[in-house]
């Protein structure tokens, strides 16, 4: 398994191009299953999760070509296998997003249950309830969801008990080919859900209320092809912003969308970081200043994203004063806490909240990545800590950060990958 060796203490300075959003690209690739015409996606990041999704769709019978870097043409005209197997679903939970499209277009789908994961139980009951409300017959057998419907799914009035990004995406995709009108109440409003809805519209779907918590879909008999550009990754942009802030540096995030990052920007400003929109994106500056403590509670969009919680904690570990971080989206999403503590952070748990007593500086150590965002939180801590930190199990980072070392090195970071034994991707574990 590869590891990263980071010599911290160097302020990041320079420009970082923001990649397309992983969490938008994955559902968008699944949307290709809804049509027998080609869906072409551009600005797709080159990541382990995208490769897993290509494998999954490929085994369903989707023909995928890559005519230019970051451009994928997905042709689902010859899909003939409706099973998403355990080996793939277990490595990437977003695989369950094939369920709605397969069921809606072909009337049948068999998808492995994703199982437990590193950041909480993460059930899929909301996905299944929504599809059942549209007339699907769902059975759980041998670790698989067996879903079927005779004829088309039927439009329905659905209220989600809890806001779920994935359940909203599965339901909205299924509804595009259902008979009649589907209304999704308490739907997720995340930018990635909005991006999916825009692509569905470009394919000929009728989707209203995009960006609100009520989505109304008028089912159509067939969807066509489209060309769609994946939105910029707001979490990747926020991650590099946190790295710049924690190292006392200054970076311009090319392509970052400030309008999609309001809660994160507000927290950075409270911490004393200068954040400004530029013609190319966003500039983030914290030269020679100790950060101020900030309390953060994770919430659904437009609140502070859970996927930025570990990065915020790494920043707060070296801020002046005491910060409280409360995770409300996923239970157990604090695996970075013991690892940050190994680097000298003063963190205690108080019920479901992390209480962070900022220290003047973190110390280098050997640490271990446990999931995607926890790992990148450790990278930020390592970039800030003077001396050599080794981060093990880097494959978690490869799931969601495109060219991480290259982007950071270009801004002066001293970061090196030490290759491990082959086959690391086979050991990919579940994370956000």
Shortest distance (Å) from residue 268 CB to ligand UD1 = 19
Part of the chain binding ligand UD1 (CB under 6 A), chosen from 115-123, 140-148, 251-259, 374-382: 115-123
The answer to the question of residue 112 lying near ligand UD1 (CB under 6 A) is no
The answer to the question of residue 126 lying near ligand UD1 (CB under 6 A) is yes
Shortest distance (Å) from residue 334 CB to ligand UD1 = 14
Closest to 371 in 3D by CA, of 420, 336, 345: 336
Part of the chain binding ligand UD1 (CB under 6 A), chosen from 143-151, 165-173, 273-281, 346-354: 165-173
The answer to the question of residue 375 lying near ligand UD1 (CB under 6 A) is no
Part of the chain binding ligand UD1 (CB under 6 A), chosen from 117-125, 139-147, 150-158, 221-229: 117-125
Shortest distance (Å) from residue 140 CB to ligand UD1 = 13
Taking CB under 6 A as the criterion, the residue among 39, 47, 103, 124 binding ligand UD1 is 124
Give the residue with the Cβ less far from ligand UD1, 252 or 307: 307
149 is catalytic: no
The answer to the question of residue 162 lying near ligand UD1 (CB under 6 A) is yes
How far CA 378 is from CA of 178, 317, 373, in Å, comes to: 45, 11, 9
The answer to the question of residue 125 lying near ligand UD1 (CB under 6 A) is yes
Contact pattern for ligand UD1 over residues 300 through 319, marking x by CB under 6 A? ------xx------------
Shortest distance (Å) from residue 158 CB to ligand UD1 = 13
Shortest distance (Å) from residue 309 CB to ligand UD1 = 9
How far CA 327 is from CA of 271, 303, 304, 344, in Å, comes to: 19, 12, 10, 22
Selected catalytic residue, list 117, 149, 288, 411: 117
Contact pattern for ligand UD1 over residues 17 through 56, marking x by CB under 6 A? ------x--x------------------------------
Buried b (16+ CB within 10 A) or exposed e, 311-328: bbbbbbbbbeeebebbbb
The answer to the question of residue 234 lying near ligand UD1 (CB under 6 A) is no
Closest to 281 in 3D by CA, of 3, 13, 19, 10: 19
Shortest distance (Å) from residue 127 CB to ligand UD1 = 5
Rg (CA), the chain: 21
The answer to the question of residue 91 lying near ligand UD1 (CB under 6 A) is no
Question: Active-site residue numbers?
Answer: 117
Residues that bind ligand UD1 (CB under 6 A): 23, 26, 93-94, 120, 122-127, 162, 164-167, 192, 306-307, 329-330, 432
């Amino acid at each position: 398994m590869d590891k990263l060796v980071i010599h911290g203490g160097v302020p990041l300075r320079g420009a970082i191009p923001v990649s397309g959003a992983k969490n938008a690209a994955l559902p968008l690739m699944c949307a290709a299953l809804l049509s027998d015409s080609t869906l072409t996606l551009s600005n797709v990041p080159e990541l382990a999760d995208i490769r897993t999704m290509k494998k999954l769709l490929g085994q369903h019978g989707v023909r995928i070509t890559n005519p230019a870097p970051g451009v994928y043409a997905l042709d689902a005209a010859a899909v003939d296998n409706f099973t998403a197997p355990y080996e793939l679903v277990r490595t990437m939970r977003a695989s369950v997003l094939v369920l709605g499209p397969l069921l809606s277009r072909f009337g049948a789908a068999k998808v492995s249950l994703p199982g437990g994961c590193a950041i909480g139980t993460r059930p899929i009951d909301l996905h299944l309830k929504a599809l059942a409300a549209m007339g699907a017959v769902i059975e759980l057998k041998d670790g698989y969801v067996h879903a079927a419907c005779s004829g088309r799914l039927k439009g329905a009035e659905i209220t989600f008990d809890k806001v779920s990004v994935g359940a909203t995406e599965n339901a909205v995709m299924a509804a595009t080919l259902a008979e009649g009108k589907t209304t999704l109440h308490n739907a997720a409003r995340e930018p990635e859900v909005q991006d999916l809805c825009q692509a569905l519209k470009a394919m000929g779907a009728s989707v209203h209320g995009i960006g609100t918590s009520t989505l109304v879909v008028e089912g159509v008999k067939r969807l066509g092809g489209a060309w769609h550009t994946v939105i910029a990754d707001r979490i990747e942009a926020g991650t590099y912003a946190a790295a710049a802030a924690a190292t006392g540096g200054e970076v311009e995030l090319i392509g970052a969308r400030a309008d999609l990052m309001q809660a994160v920007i507000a927290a950075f400003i409270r911490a004393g970081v200068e954040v400004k929109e530029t013609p190319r994106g966003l500039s983030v500056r914290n030269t020679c200043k100790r950060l101020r403590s900030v309390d953060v509670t994770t919430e659904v969009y437009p609140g502070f994203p859970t996927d930025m919680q570990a990065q915020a904690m790494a920043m707060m570990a070296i801020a002046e004063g005491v910060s409280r971080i409360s995770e409300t989206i996923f239970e157990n999403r604090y695996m970075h806490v013991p690892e940050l503590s190994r680097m000298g952070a003063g963190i205690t748990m108080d019920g479901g909240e992390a209480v962070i007593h900022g220290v003047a500086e973190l110390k280098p150590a050997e640490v271990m990545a446990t999931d995607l965002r926890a790992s990148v939180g450790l990278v930020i801590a390592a970039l800030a800590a003077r001396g050599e930190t080794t981060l093990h199990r880097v494959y978690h980072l490869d799931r969601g950060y495109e060219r991480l070392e290259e982007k950071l090195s270009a801004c002066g970071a001293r970061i090196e990958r030490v290759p491990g034994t082959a086959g690391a991707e086979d050991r990919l574990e579940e994370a956000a």
